[in-house]
Structure 1
Amino acid sequence: MRTTVAIVGAGPAGLLLARLLDAEGIESVVLESRDRAHVERRQRAGILEQGTADALRAAGAGARMDREGLRHTGIELRFDRRRHRVDLSALTGGRSVYVHAQTEVCKDLIALRLRTGGPLLFGARALAVEDADTDRPRVRYRHGGRDEVLECSYVAGCDGYWGVSRAAVPPALTRTYERSWPYAWLGILADVPPSHHELVYARHDRGFALLSMRPAGGGTGGAPVSRLYLQVPPGTDAASWGDADIWDELERRVETDGGRRLARGAITAKAVTPMRSYVHEPMRHGRLFLAGDAAHIVPPTGAKGLNLAVGDVVTLARALVAHRDTGDPAGIDAYSADCLRRVWQAEHFSYTMTDLLHRHPDASPFDDRLRRARLDRITGCRAAATDFAEGYTGIPFPRDA
């Protein structure tokens, strides 16, 4: 089989890229190792930046997000038993974020792909990306018990950190940067309406907590349910936390003077997420382009992972269209540098927010006071709040800057 762009991975990055290329008349084939049901139910990010929301609308995949997603114009920071609202929209000229789960984004993009008839092969496990530094790269994969070869002009590696795409970049040409964080998140989904109408990020001497939400029923437009997180040590077993203990600890960490108690309900899901930061340079090798987690990972505090992946594929689609239409390879040649500028800004924001809000196990009293001073600055100075709001609502895509 042959196509113009071989897309390895049917997460939101690969599926959106296929949609963008299809709209421009560029052929692609999407290879996904898991089955459709797995892709449509795996829980990941739930916060979409303004740029991501705009990109989904432009791709014809934003209708359900606008109908069922939750638009947020602000967030709340809690520390020292005080509440502080950051008005994102007022500080950024009207920008906002949307609470809309990655699973729902994937469902919509899959439905669009199948409707247009573009090849989307589930259960197709990529085995290797070969000849990426030539004008005829190819992807070897296994599908239906048979080994196959997909010949192409370009390969988009959207298959995550453990996929074959990242491994196809020669180690001698690669530089990696990473950090492992000394804490993790215990996340729960609870069948109870959120205790606050906006996201709440809480810093407490016992550790970080986050009050978030999801539209009920996987995006059916019902009342939101609660999505909540606690800072825990790495390697924590989620089963070691009883439901009552989780609610009690959340209550302690988000409590404010004169505040209401948390609404409690049945916990329907429970899991621990490790935290790390990672960047792979370059993001391009010949005709292989890395996108999303194949090239970078951020801790979830800043809600940047999915949004960075969208920025990558929007940039790549623009470059491929420009090269087809004008013959100018400038966008293709600049892909890695253009994306990495945005990636490092997002890494910095995520690093700062993670370090600021979590209780570091080795922090001295001096360190803690510095973090509180920074929170006071963000909540008490418009310039600092604006910088925070601009980072939270999203760094513009390269050609939007």
Structure 2
Amino acid sequence: MKTQVAIIGAGPSGLLLGHLLRQAGVDCVVVERASPDYVLGRIRAGVLETVTTDLMTRLGIDARMQAEGLVEAGFNLATNDRLIRIDITALTGRHVMVYGQTELTRDLMDAAPDRDLTVIYEAGDVALHALESDAPFVTYSKDGETHRIDAAFIAGCDGFHGPSRKAIPASAVREFERVYPFGWLGILADVPPCHDELIYANTDAGFALASMRSKTRSRYYIQVPLTDRVENWSEERLWDELAARFDPISDHQVTRGPALEMSIAPLRSYVFETMRHGRLFLAGDSAHIVPPTGAKGLNLAASDVAYLSDALIAHFRDRDDAALEGYQDKALARIWKAERFSWYLTKLMHRFPEDGAFEHRMQAAELDYVASSEAMQTAIAENYVGLPL
């Protein structure tokens, strides 16, 4: 098989890139190791910046998102007994939308056949070859046979554990990482949210988050040690902990229900600065990971895709390679700003094991300053709603 761009990974970043290229008449093929059901089974965040919603609108795949998504004009930072509302619409003139990543991925999947976007699922042993040549190619196995895709470029949208990043030789790699000494224990349930907007809470017991996927589906998290296990937590125990933290400050209090999913997610900040190697370009989680504080993961992937799709389209349509040459620097400039904001919120709202009374006082002072300063609230709102492309 021959194509212009081979895309590795059929998560939201790979599918977004594929749709944008096909809309512009660029041939591409998406290769995914997992099944469609497995891809849709990944429970992820659901706060969308305008960079992401604008791409869906540009593609004309936004009808369900516009109908079912919840427009959020603000969010809240909280101490034990106080809510600090960040009015992002009043401060920036923009808003975010709550719409699950699973639903966005489903919309992109469902639109693929009608948009002539070829997606090959359950492709095993995916490998990238000849990246430094003018004729890179991808091999994979399916139905007992080995297949080959020849392409002009390869886009690695296959996440942290995919083969794309690993195909870059160690001598060319620049990477930076901060692993946090705690994780998030999360529960997803079909219950109404306890508050009409998200709450990030810094409590004596540690961080907690009250969020929603819809008006009838809620997602909660609490900070737990990295040594903790889901098996140590019953649903009743977790609901008790959430009620203790959110009932005093929320509008509606915590409604309990059977868990659709419970898991513990580790937190890390990670940047793989080598986003281009020869004819390979990385986008999304293959190049960077942010802690979920700040809801930047999917949105940062979308901004990578916006830059990369425009650059590839300019190459094939206009024979202009300036944007391809500048892709890495342009993407990294936005990536590091998002990493900074996610790191800032994580440091502000969590209890770190090494911190003592002084650090806790510093957090309290910072939150008190945020509560009284429109300038601080504006800076937080600008970063939360998404910096311009």
1:220 corresponds to which residue?
none
Runs of 4+ in structure 1 over 4 Å off: 257-260
Alpha-carbon spacing, 1:125–1:314, altered in 2? closer, same or farther (3 Å):
farther
2:171 corresponds to which residue?
172
SS in structure 1 of the partner of residue 114 of structure 2:
helix
Conservation of the 8 A alpha-carbon contact between 1:123 and 1:144: no
How far the C-alpha of 1:197 sits from its partner, in A, is 0.8
Q: Which amino acid aligns with 2:294?
A: G
SS in structure 2 of the partner of residue 26 of structure 1:
coil
Equivalent of residue 312 in structure 1, options 292, 296, 304: 304
Cα distance in 2 between the residues matched to 1:153 and 1:126: 21
Matches within 5 A, 1:165-204: 165-204=164-203
Equivalent of residue 379 in structure 1, options 344, 352, 371: 371
Q: TM-score, normalised by structure 2?
A: 0.97
Question: Does residue 1:271 correspond to 2:270, yes or no?
Answer: no
Conservation of the 8 A alpha-carbon contact between 2:290 and 2:342: yes
Cα distance in 2 between the residues matched to 1:126 and 1:65: 34
1:116 corresponds to which residue?
115
Question: Does residue 1:226 correspond to 2:218, yes or no?
Answer: yes
Cα distance in 2 between the residues matched to 1:259 and 1:106: 31
SS in structure 1 of the partner of residue 353 of structure 2:
coil
Q: Which amino acid aligns with 1:106?
A: T
Conservation of the 8 A alpha-carbon contact between 1:31 and 1:125: no
1:59 corresponds to which residue?
59
1:145 corresponds to which residue?
144
Cα distance in 1 between the residues matched to 2:332 and 2:33: 27
Alpha-carbon spacing, 1:191–1:326, altered in 2? closer, same or farther (3 Å):
closer
1:210 corresponds to which residue?
209
Q: Which amino acid aligns with 1:312?
A: D
Cα distance in 1 between the residues matched to 2:123 and 2:257: 40
The answer for unaligned runs of 5 or more in structure 1 is 216-222
Conservation of the 8 A alpha-carbon contact between 1:207 and 1:358: yes
Aligned residue pairs total 389
Q: Which amino acid aligns with 1:229?
A: Y
Cα distance in 1 between the residues matched to 2:188 and 2:15: 26
Conservation of the 8 A alpha-carbon contact between 1:186 and 1:232: yes
1:13 corresponds to which residue?
13
State, as a whole percentage, how many aligned pairs show the same letter. Answer: 45
Conservation of the 8 A alpha-carbon contact between 1:31 and 1:126: no
Conservation of the 8 A alpha-carbon contact between 1:207 and 1:253: no
How far the C-alpha of 1:256 sits from its partner, in A, is 3.5
1:163 corresponds to which residue?
162
Cα distance in 2 between the residues matched to 1:226 and 1:284: 38
Q: Which amino acid aligns with 1:201?
A: Y
How far the C-alpha of 1:391 sits from its partner, in A, is 0.6
